[in-house]
């Protein structure tokens, strides 16, 4: 910041923003204010009308604090004048503030508008918060660097920084980022131990670093965001702001600053603990004792309490600022002690400017004249610091020594280092910016060494997996097209209002996108609601469509359950005879599962009207039907006792009603048999109007499925509820019955009212969605059990040139491509490499061309599996291959 000494900070200009760093520079006289010329012209030249001093400017301030507050007030006055042509801000007040940069010298304010701006903007509190922000922001990086250096000096455990970022919102991002940054700083170190290598106290101390430093980062960022707004937002005179006293702004800043103070308190304690750990490794007892007691935990006693008990905002903010300065001193002392330990340890290789820090770099190098020193054969290789901590150490060392050599380390020298480093950590020191930039450069340049990860609940698919998927998609698309369905695609995100209110309790799983200042959008949860929106938006009365696309759910990932996955949907919308589209959709589902050849499965089926009738018979109030259905839908994953507890404790259903529900949902079996039982004389279902309608529809459906040879896969199951709100009729769910436990693999039902939610025009619809990810899991497991090679390509011929003649390869392979033969080419002199590649890729035929074949004008055709070769004329090789591949 020293470079800003001669600089001017322009205030009030359009597009310009006053930063906390600029406020800090102005407060110390390192920069001077300059009023934007265009704003200055717009200020009133009328004579000032002295006003009563607002309470927000009455606080007793130190000179630097007064300068900062004056800069904030001046900027607020100029911003307000620029924002509102009617705002009466006098040139006299603005000029006095700019020239003196002293709040007291600017009083009294020259107009009612000026007094209103001063009262509403809380300039003193904002200025103090800006000073805190400016000092705290760089310390977030410095604290990480010093902790990494202490980890080296104390021979800490790198495992302390194994903090995974889960990507599911259940881990702290800042904590994970701190851990990753420190791991980058110590990368390559031979001092930092592996898991279990550090003493228990050291392990416990360093294990806290990621959490505490992460909380500090979070608090700094929150305060910075608020300060940036308060520094640069104009006061809206004549509106709400004009009547404010600024107390609300002060309260918000106090809340954020005290959160920062609590984080600083934790940082102070941790810094003291680390400095003592470092000192304990010093062999010299006298020096060890002096460095161990160089700072005291007693210095912190009552400090945070004094900050928090102050009643006025200005006193609290001053206390937080002083607390932050105390932490800066503790951090500087810790860095000095860590440096002393490293500099005094002869077993550590000291990094030098311009010398790459590598293991044993100097121990292995010969001395001048090319001869090794005496005893070098027996000497041990020196241990090196991490590349990041080496760079940090060199910066700190150069600052405290001015480039001079360190003869010996003693307590007085370490104390000097501590004082010098505390000055380095002050934003007014230009070296702080260099240090922060160096740390940032280290962690970002080392980014390539971090193994990249994908978010939790997502997957990558390699070539073998994609081969299985493409085969499955081909089968699925073929079945859909066989039934006359047309393809449809819709956006991956929809307006949030389109999706909300359609999924019941599952609405909480919808991924909302960040508001970019426009429409509120969410990632699609399924393909059914977008289909209904499409039908309604385009005023379509009938459509049979299929769609294969990805959907997104903010679910808890588990085996077979992902956050991003494909759905394969088949839907029929329009008015038809009873059960006509329902029959076809279920028939499509059985054909899909049969042709995919995944093994044994069953399709559980129920009817929403029958389910509602059952709940009505049991005495459940109609307004609770959907929420009770959501609980019943969990019976495939939980016992009835668990579901009953939820019904009674969370949903207000009586024990008797829950037990009656439990008795009925046990009903399941062959469709026609269960149907007959539910329709027998005396059945309560036959006394319920909705249930009678459902049973009549199911009779039509079951008879049609029986004629289509599809009924044997169906199980009539009264426990099937399907938690989604939009279902109105038949509902079904396919479950895999094989060894691979994946749960539901397909589901669907009738949704007669969903389209009407968008257009008001009711278009009945029915559909099914295949959970293709779970089907893939089954298919992949089957391939493993068969122990057969999965071909990732469909290549039929490999053109193998035994040399490096690309032009020959291009000529031959192009002839094959032109003939519709799937071919690849390879250039290498070793024939074994060609054969190995063909075997690994499952390519059945090879065209081998070496020096002798070129001279003869021939090629060799090799049957890879049979290991047989035949030489044919060059001009005939395409036709010969077409014969062998049985191509027309």
Do the Cβ atoms of 553 and 579 come closer than 8 Å?
A: no
Q: Domain end: 121, 141, 165, which one? A: 121
546 plus 676 within the same structural domain: no
Residue 374 in domain: no
Residue 413 in domain: no
Give 92's pLDDT tier (boundaries 50, 70, 90): confident
Examine the pLDDT at 557 and tell me if it is beyond 90: no
Distance of alpha carbon 286 from alpha carbon 323, whole angstroms? 31
Examine the pLDDT at 135 and tell me if it is beyond 90: yes
Q: Domain end: 349, 381, 414, which one? A: 349
289 plus 247 within the same structural domain: yes
Residue 834 in domain: yes
Q: Give the domain CATH number at 139.
A: 1.20.200.10
- The total number of structural domains that make up the chain: 5
Task: Find the helix or strand (DSSP H, E) in which 717 lies.
Answer: strand 714-717
CB atoms within 10 A of CB 461: 12
More confident call, 226 vs 457: 226
| Least confident piece of the model among 40-54, 426-440, 760-774, 864-878 | 40-54
Average of per-residue pLDDT values in the chain: 84
841 plus 757 within the same structural domain: no
End-to-end CA distance of the chain: 79
41 plus 157 within the same structural domain: no
- Count CA within 13 A, CB hemisphere, residue 8: 10
User: Which residues 6+ apart lie within 8 Å of 317 measured at CB?
Assistant: 125, 128, 129, 132, 253, 254, 257
pLDDT tens for 315-362 read 899 989 998 999 999 999 999 999 999 988 888 888 876 554 443 344
The closest of 857, 853, 860, 861 to 874, measured between CA atoms, is 857
Q: Domain end: 121, 140, 156, which one? A: 121
Cα torsion at 607, 610, 611, 616 (round to 10°)?
Answer: 160
In the sheet with 765-770, reading across from the earlier edge strand, the strands are 486-487, 543-552, 564-573, 765-770, 744-750, 730-736, 601-607, 714-717, 668-669
Cα torsion at 200, 202, 204, 208 (round to 10°)?
Answer: -170
142 plus 290 within the same structural domain: yes
Distance of alpha carbon 504 from alpha carbon 535, whole angstroms? 22
Please provide the DSSP assignment of 294-330 as one string: SS-GGGGTTHHHHHHH--SHHHHHHHHHHHHHHHHHH
Residue 452 in domain: no
Please provide the DSSP assignment of 772-794 as one string: HHHHHHHHHHHHHHHT-PPPS--
644 plus 710 within the same structural domain: yes
186 plus 295 within the same structural domain: yes
Domain of residue 838 covers 797-886
699 plus 759 within the same structural domain: no
Residue 137 in domain: yes
Q: Give the domain CATH number at 506.
A: 3.30.930.10
562 plus 577 within the same structural domain: yes
Cα dihedral sign, 33-38-39-44: positive
Pull the structure tokens for residue 351.
Answer: 């990094």
Examine the pLDDT at 18 and tell me if it is beyond 60: yes
pLDDT tens for 354-382 read 554 443 344 344 433 444 444 444 446 78
The whole-model pTM stands at 0.58
704 plus 772 within the same structural domain: no
595 plus 606 within the same structural domain: no
Residue 150 in domain: yes
What is the per-residue pLDDT for 309?
67
Please provide the DSSP assignment of 502-537 as one string: SSGGGGGG--BPPP-SS--EEE-S-SHHHHHHHHHH
Distances (CA, A) of 221 to 65, 129, 487, 647, 651: 22, 13, 48, 43, 41
| Least confident piece of the model among 414-418, 499-503, 548-552, 840-844 | 499-503
647 plus 721 within the same structural domain: yes
Q: Give the domain CATH number at 810.
A: 3.40.50.800
Residue 520 in domain: yes
Q: What is the CA radius of gyration of the chain?
A: 38
Pull the structure tokens for residue 877.
Answer: 């090789």
Residue 615 in domain: yes
pLDDT tens for 407-456 read 888 999 999 999 999 999 999 998 999 999 988 888 877 554 556 778 88
Distance of alpha carbon 459 from alpha carbon 466, whole angstroms? 12
């Amino acid at each position: 910041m020293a470079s800003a000494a001669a600089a001017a900070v322009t205030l009030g200009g359009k597009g310009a923003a006053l930063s906390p760093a600029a406020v800090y520079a102005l407060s110390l006289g390192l920069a001077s204010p300059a009023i934007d010329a265009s704003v200055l012209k717009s200020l009133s030249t009328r004579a000032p009308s002295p006003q009563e001093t607002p309470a927000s400017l009455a606080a007793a301030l130190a000179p630097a604090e007064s300068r900062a507050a004056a800069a904030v007030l001046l900027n607020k006055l100029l911003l307000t004048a620029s924002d509102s042509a009617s705002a009466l801000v006098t040139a006299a007040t603005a000029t006095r503030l700019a020239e003196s940069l002293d709040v007291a010298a600017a009083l009294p304010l020259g107009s009612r508008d000026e007094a209103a701006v001063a009262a509403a903007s809380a300039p003193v509190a904002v200025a103090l918060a800006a000073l805190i922000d400016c000092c705290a922001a760089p310390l977030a990086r410095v604290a990480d660097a010093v902790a990494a250096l202490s980890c080296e000096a104390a021979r800490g455990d790198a495992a302390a920084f194994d903090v995974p970022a889960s990507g599911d919102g259940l881990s702290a991002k800042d904590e994970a980022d701190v851990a990753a940054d420190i791991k980058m700083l110590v990368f390559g170190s031979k001092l930092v131990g592996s898991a279990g290598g550090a003493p228990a106290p050291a392990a416990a101390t360093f294990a806290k670093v990621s959490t505490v430093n992460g909380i500090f980062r979070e608090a700094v960022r929150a305060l910075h965001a608020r300060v940036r707004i308060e520094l640069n937002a104009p006061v809206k005179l004549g509106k709400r702001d004009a009547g404010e006293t600024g107390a609300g702004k002060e309260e918000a800043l106090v809340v954020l600053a005290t959160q920062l103070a609590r984080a600083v308190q934790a940082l102070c304690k941790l810094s003291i603990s680390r400095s003592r750990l470092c000192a304990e490794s010093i062999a010299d007892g006298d020096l060890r004792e002096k460095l161990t007691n160089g700072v005291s935990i007693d210095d912190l006693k009552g400090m945070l309490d004094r900050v928090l008990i102050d009643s006025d905002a200005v006193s609290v903010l001053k206390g937080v600022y002083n607390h932050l300065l105390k932490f800066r001193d503790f951090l500087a002392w810790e860095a000095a002690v860590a440096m002393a330990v490293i500099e005094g340890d002869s077993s550590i290789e000291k990094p030098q400017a311009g010398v790459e820090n590598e293991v044993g770099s100097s121990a292995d190098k010969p001395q001048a004249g090319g001869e090794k020193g005496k005893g070098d054969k027996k000497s041990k290789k020196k241990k090196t610091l991490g590349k990041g901590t080496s760079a940090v150490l060199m910066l700190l060392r150069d600052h405290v020594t001015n480039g001079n050599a360190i003869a010996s380390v003693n307590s007085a020298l370490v104390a000097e280092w501590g004082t010098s480093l505390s000055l380095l950590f002050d934003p007014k020191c230009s070296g702080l910016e260099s240090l922060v930039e160096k740390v940032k450069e280290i962690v970002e340049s080392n980014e390539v060494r971090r193994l990249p990860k994908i978010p939790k609940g997502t997957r990558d698919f390699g070539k073998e997996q994609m081969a299985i998927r493409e085969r499955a998609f081909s089968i699925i698309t073929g079945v859909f097209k066989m039934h006359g369905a047309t393809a449809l695609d819709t956006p991956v995100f929809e307006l949030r209002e389109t999706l909300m209110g359609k999924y019941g309790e599952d609405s909480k799983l919808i991924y909302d996108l960040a508001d970019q200042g426009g429409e509120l959008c969410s990632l699609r949860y399924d393909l059914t609601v977008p289909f209904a929106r499409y039908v309604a938006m385009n005023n379509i009365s009938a459509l049979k469509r299929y769609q294969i696309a990805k959907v997104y759910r903010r679910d808890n990932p588990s085996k077979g359950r992902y956050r991003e996955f494909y759905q394969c949907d088949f839907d029929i919308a329009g008015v038809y005879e009873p059960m006509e589209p329902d029959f076809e959709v279920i028939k499509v589902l059985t054909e899909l599962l049969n042709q995919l050849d995944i093994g044994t499965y069953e399709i559980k089926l129920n009817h929403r009207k029958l389910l509602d009738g059952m709940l009505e018979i049991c005495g459940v109030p109609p307004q609770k039907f959907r929420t009770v259905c959501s609980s019943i839908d969990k019976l495939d994953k939980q016992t009835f006792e668990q579901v009953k507890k939820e019904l009674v404790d969370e949903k207000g259903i009586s024990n008797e009603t829950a037990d009656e529900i439990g008795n009925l949902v046990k009903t399941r079996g062959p469709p026609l048999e269960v149907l007959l039982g539910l329709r027998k004389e005396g059945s309560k279902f036959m006394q319920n109007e909705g249930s009678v309608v459902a049973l009549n529809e199911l009779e039509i459906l079951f008879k049609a499925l029986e004629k289509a040879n599809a009924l044997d896969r169906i199980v009539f199951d009264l426990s099937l509820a399907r938690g989604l709100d939009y279902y109105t009729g038949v509902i079904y769910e396919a479950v895999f019955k094989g060894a691979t436990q994946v749960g539901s693999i397909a589901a669907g039902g009738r949704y007669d009212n969903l389209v009407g939610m968008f257009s008001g025009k009711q278009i009945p619809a029915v559909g099914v969605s295949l959970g293709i990810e779970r089907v893939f899991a089954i298919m992949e497991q089957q391939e493993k059990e068969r122990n057969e090679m999965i071909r990732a390509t469909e290549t039929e011929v490999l053109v193998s040139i035994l040399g490096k003649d690309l032009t020959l390869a291009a000529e031959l392979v192009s002839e094959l491509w032109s003939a519709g033969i799937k071919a690849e080419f390879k250039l290498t002199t070793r024939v074994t490499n060609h054969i190995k590649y063909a075997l690994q890729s499952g390519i059945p035929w090879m065209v081998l061309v070496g020096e002798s074949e070129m001279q003869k004008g021939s090629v060799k055709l090799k049957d890879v599996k049979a290991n047989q070769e035949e030489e044919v004329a060059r001009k005939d090789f395409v036709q010969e291959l077409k014969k062998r591949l049985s191509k027309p």
